[in-house]
Amino acid sequence: IFYSEPGIYLDYDSTSKKLRISKKTLIQHISYLEFSYLLRKIKNFRISTSTVSRKMQRLYPYWWTLAYCYGDNYNKIMENVVASSIDAKHYWRKNGKEIDFLVIDGKNILPIEVKNKKQLTKNDMKNMKYFLEKYRMEEGIIIYDGEESEEKFTNRRQGNQGFSARIRHIPLWKWLLEA
């Protein structure tokens, strides 16, 4: 089930009912899959660590090639490839907005979105812009199937100084060569 649906949200109660096993058994089996590097758990990022532990987690196959055997959902496989390349640990989701992955290095956070498109629209960048503005980040990355480009924007609503940021659009093939 986890390999056929990379990035599935983990709800222990409904998943244990679906598989007809106890919640305790499911938790134990998932921990075995994690320990054996077959499954990767990604947590919803929050400043408070207690909030992180209560929020919904996402599951990805540790090795994206194994997920490819169970279906041809290129959107999810592309997301899984990026998760593996950055050894993803966190994503962000709040009020219906989501960023696929956050790379956290000390106090630096790099938001990454994955889109299976050749052309990006304003709607594709809406969540990234929201995240960058909310947390006053200077850079975000969207990995997709198009050409490399960059978009800079300024938000004057952030007080007298304003706020500038950029969103880099990177083709998946180039991302993988640089990773």
Q: What is the pLDDT along the chain (179 residues), one digit of tens a residue?
A: 778 888 889 999 999 999 999 999 999 999 999 999 999 999 999 876 555 455 789 999 998 887 777 667 777 889 999 999 999 999 999 999 999 999 999 889 999 999 999 999 999 999 999 999 988 899 999 999 999 999 998 876 655 567 789 999 999 999 999 87
Instruction: List own/partner pairs for 92-96 with CB under 8 A and 24 or more apart.
Output: 92/44, 92/45, 92/131, 93/44, 93/55, 93/56
Domains of the chain: 1-72 (1.10.10.10), 89-179 (no CATH)
Instruction: List own/partner pairs for 126-135 with CB under 8 A and 24 or more apart.
Output: 126/97, 127/97, 127/98, 127/99, 128/99, 128/167, 129/153, 129/165, 129/167, 130/97, 131/92, 131/97, 131/99, 132/165, 132/167, 133/158, 133/163, 133/165, 135/109
**How do beta strands 8-10 and 57-61 pair?**
antiparallel
What pTM was computed for the model? Answer: 0.87
